[in-house]
Amino acid sequence: DAGVIQSPRHEVTEMGQEVTLRCKPISGHDYLFWYRQTMMRGLELLIYFNNNVPIDDSGMPEDRFSAKMPNASFSTLKIQPSEPRDSAVYFCASSLAVAGEQFFGPGTRLTVL
């Protein structure tokens, strides 16, 4: 398997623009997680899905953030409008079970100017 795939790897945008991050989990994994990593706050869970259904979105910072999982092999994290404080590395991870080890994608480094 190719592992968790994320795109783009790097994104530079201007404040106010819409940003869409994409993730393809490992085939057969029922759980998908979105994390954000910053120097100040470390690695934070934003939202996770089970069988394409959002289970816990308590980590989503505000309404500007939204995540979808239209099918078992694809998820998006959208920020609209983006702000400079959204600059971070966004990781997608997947696992077979909620209690199991999570396999991380390479991350998307987002810079909002």
Partner 1 sequence: AQKITQTQPGMFVQEKEAVTLDCTYDTSDPSYGLFWYKQPSSGEMIFLIYQGSYDQQNATEGRYSLNFQKARKSANLVISASQLGDSAMYFCAMREKIGANSKLTFGKGITLSVRP
Quick one: CA dihedral 18, 108, 99, 96, positive or negative? positive
* Least distance in angstroms from the C-beta of 17 to partner 1: 23
**Rule CB under 8 A: which of 11-40 touch partner 1?**
33
**Rule CB under 8 A: which of 37-56 touch partner 1?**
42-45, 55-56
Q: How far is CA 109 from CA 7, 13, 58, 68, 70, in A?
A: 10, 11, 22, 20, 23
Cβ closest to partner 1, residue 12 vs residue 43: 43
**Rule CB under 8 A: which of 81-110 touch partner 1?**
89, 91, 93, 98-99, 101-107, 109
